[in-house]
Structure 1
């Protein structure tokens, strides 16, 4: 049998006298999959050949006095707990209805630390994928229909999706919080939640037929950023064995107690938040309504370099070899910033003005910059500059570092465009690969403003990507009989070009990585920020002595 603790019988029906979570009448368990954990017994749902369990608490509710502390032990219950419904999303601000990413959760709560499991009924020591959703570390949830894990489970993966604290509740640092914490640091609570979820997976996933020794962490955008954090966090060591990283970034992050790279300390930012809200004590801050706090804080959520959970800037961790040496599959989308144009400066009135503006900022690097981002396509060059500075350089950097460490490392560029995306000028936009990766292409699944794929080719691309992603989770090598051989990056900088057809190519975007590597190194040496300090929006490039580059 797949598991000694997961079964399809009436054995525990007589135990289901009450739902311990809420005191409601017991679920009818006679036609439901049951799983026994250390916490208690769960009743999930049969969905075709899959067993699905939703809303499983993996840590203590972070409410009341537990707001802004590390996640506590997962709660236990008596009887049979209903696991047929997703848990509420973590507290988050509303998103404008016109946003491409508008997909509001049906329920929101500060008590939100739950996860979900999709598993084949006969799964046994199956590879595991743990999905970390995106959303700028401020919005999103594991319950979004696009993240349904059925297609992965149909292909033999035990798929887990996770909620984690967001925004000011998930990433605020403050001197008083640091002082009361056992390890002397604050912030990174959402990241600590992800680590707690991975610990839960290590201890429990065998009950669902998963192999705790074959866990792949996977995320997109803020989820990819979270995967990058986990790769460099000593507290996550040994909890995963591979990583899938879709559209990451490696910007400079605030340090806990000192200003660095143009950012105030994380504790100083926390003090400013308290001051703006008129909060004088932690008790007052913990008593404030969670939604009101989130809406009014004006807080930009990101990881804090605290010396413990995140010891180093991501770029420094990879440069000094202090990262998890695991197989990786990473990439980015060719049109990332088409859906993020707020980051982009307005094009100048002429090619000559553009070239003069770049020359004023980049000195003797002007020619190299204009070779990659020329003046003959101003809008395209501006969008490509931001795409590469935020996502492209970071993705290729991780792949290069893991390959240099002797790990299998695979890179892709998602360049696929379909009619609805093309009509909206959103070819290969940020997150547009997700419906294809998850196999969830139908309009009723996607957010309401999403351009909907609608052709046979779309499904063929999706099926092939699912093959690649699931085989990588199983073996560390992406393979599909329907697509080309995906060679590792260390073979002539090979990558998979995911366009109208799938092709194995070499040297993605020649010169891009080298240019941004040099620019970031110079910004970093001069103590300057490198996030969004690029292109027409850049400050003049300076050397470590503070002199303008010439």
Structure 2
């Protein structure tokens, strides 16, 4: 069968149908900035466009500036390899990259499309990776979009600035900004990628009016941030959050005036008396300066532009995006030994930790997180470690959206333990272990997967893609997933497959615990 070419206005996609990959004509698409040429997946069913620029390289005078529109090009630009990942000061042992290097020139995105024509108008899923806003990249094999694209969606992923390059603020940056804002450049990068999707995704067979943003950890926090920001208004229609929300435990997000002082002190310690001197420093000099300031991390702030006010206040007032939300977390985000910080898990040490973390409120916490037996200590320490790490913030986001978001909310808990890695401590359903399941990429990790794991992955890709298509995860052949609401009894979908067990919805068993933590967090924030 020959090649097919479909036209939709100025948009062109050349799609190979049934020829061996080596003999296929490479697919092309016409973006607003020029033509890109991609590649085809080994099975011939997915067209892959990698390393497409969505903004100018944020280097030189554009360092610590909002992303600028990408420059147009003539001819055909190759989009067959991933663009550089953004500079990151440290690494994460579970991250593997397929891009050339880390660089400040990193604002590239990728598209996986199974559209049969440019008129297909498939739903679009835009992925935001995690890494604590300090690391990560879109080239990781576990986040490859080809398998998920087989579910009738288009998958897009982007790189965004990290650490000091993505979240640095300084008084001079506030002065030079037309919005009197400083920081949040990484979040602005994400918004620019979403704007690129709205402008260009039709050329790849996507529907610009049916876009779902989804992410894990810092990517999930980013999803909740994009929902709160007026900058991203109208750029997406649904949201999925995996382990992370914008609500911070016990503290409020700092304003740019405060983070600017931290940035100014950092600049002085780095030997830069002003912003011009900072921009004149090399990438490596900036990274080395951050490493010299142990414990310093750059994080989103209330800049007055991306966040006009504290994002929790935005949610409380119902000013966020009123879109359907699917969100939850993993059963073992943190384990009990992480709460004890390598102390023996004794009752004495448990009570000591409660006093350290909660002070006068420790007795109230102990009532709902008891520690009278070794089993109770294990369970309570596990739950508290996870809550203080990331599950409380996710729960709070879900609750706020449910109260003021004006759209359906679906909550889950991922309960599928992954196989134990040789020579490592069992980690159960640990933080980020859901990513390979959501993308259908179990083979990205060399572990002894079985049929139950594969079945769980297929169910999750179906739930996630169904939600992207219609704002509801339910579909033929899938266990019913009810909305999370008081009327429905606050049902949580537990995602696990093993002999005699399949995904099922249960009333939230942790509501009293999170309500107590929320009361304590609110008291500390006030």
Contact 1:334 1:429 in 2 (8 A): yes
- Deviation, structure 1 residue 152: 1.8
3-state SS, counterpart of residue 155 of structure 2: strand
Provide the residue aligned with 2:277 in structure 1.
Answer: 284
Q: Name the count of aligned residue pairs.
A: 493
Greater CA drift, 352-361 or 509-518: 352-361
What does the per-residue CA deviation read over 1:42-97, in whole Å, with 9 as the maximum and x for residues that have no partner? 1111221111111111011101111011111111100000011111101112427x
**The one of 78, 87, 101 aligned to 1:107:** 101
Structure 2 portions without partners, runs of 5+: 1-5, 17-21
Match of 1:399 in 2: 398
| Matching residue of 2:510 | 509
Picking from 462, 469, 479, the partner of 1:484 is 479
Partner of 1:389: 388
Q: 1:139 aligns with which of 135, 139, 142?
A: 135
Check 1:365–1:322 CA distance in 2 against 1; reply closer, same or farther (3 A cut): farther
Return the offset for 1:129: 0.6
Which stretch of the first structure deviates more once superposed, 83-92 or 247-256?
247-256
Answer whether contact 2:212 2:238 (CA < 8 A) is retained: yes
Which residue of structure 1 aligns with residue 301 of structure 2?
Answer: 304
Structure 1: give runs of 5+ residues left out of the alignment.
11-27, 259-264, 526-550
- Return closer, same or farther for 1:317/1:365 CA change in 2, 3 Å cut-off: farther
**Compared CA separation, residues 157 and 30, structure 1 to 2 (3 A):** closer
Cα deviation code 1:250-283 (max 9, x no counterpart): 214543355xxxxxx1101101210121111222
Q: For residues 79 and 98 of structure 2, what CA distance do their matches in structure 1 show?
A: 22
Cα deviation, 1:148-193, whole Å, max 9, x if unaligned, reads 1012211111110000111101100000111111111110101111
CA–CA distance in structure 2, aligned partners of residues 310 and 345 of structure 1: 35
Specify which of 318, 334, 349 is matched with residue 321 of structure 1.
318
Identify the residue that residue 33 of structure 2 maps to in structure 1: 39
- The offset of 1:392, in angstroms, is 2.1
> Secondary structure in 2 aligned to 1:8?
strand
CA contact (8 A) 1:119 1:208 kept: yes
Q: Distance in 2 between matches of 1:355 and 1:307?
A: 41
- Contact preservation (8 Å) 1:3, 1:208: no
Match of 2:438 in 1: 437
What SS class does the counterpart of residue 420 from structure 1 fall into? coil
Q: Is the 8 A contact 1:413 1:495 kept in 2?
A: yes
Change (3 A) 1:344 1:220: farther
Deviates more, 1:362-371 or 1:325-334: 362-371
Map residues 170-185 of structure 1 onto 2, 5 A cutoff: 170-185=166-181
Q: Which aligned pairs between 1:424-463 and structure 2 lie closer than 5 A? A: 424-442=425-443, 445-446=444-445, 452-463=447-458
TM, length-normalised to structure 2: 0.88
Distance 1:499 1:9, change over 3 A: closer
CA RMSD after TM alignment: 2.5
Cα distance change of structure 1 residues 379 and 271 upon mapping to structure 2, 3 Å threshold:
farther
Q: By how many angstroms is 1:248 displaced?
A: 0.6
Whole-Å Cα distance in 2 between the matches of residues 9 and 345 of structure 1?
Answer: 54
Match of 2:198 among 195, 202, 208: 202
Taking structure 1 as reference, are residues 326 and 508 closer, same or farther at Cα in structure 2, changes over 3 Å only? farther
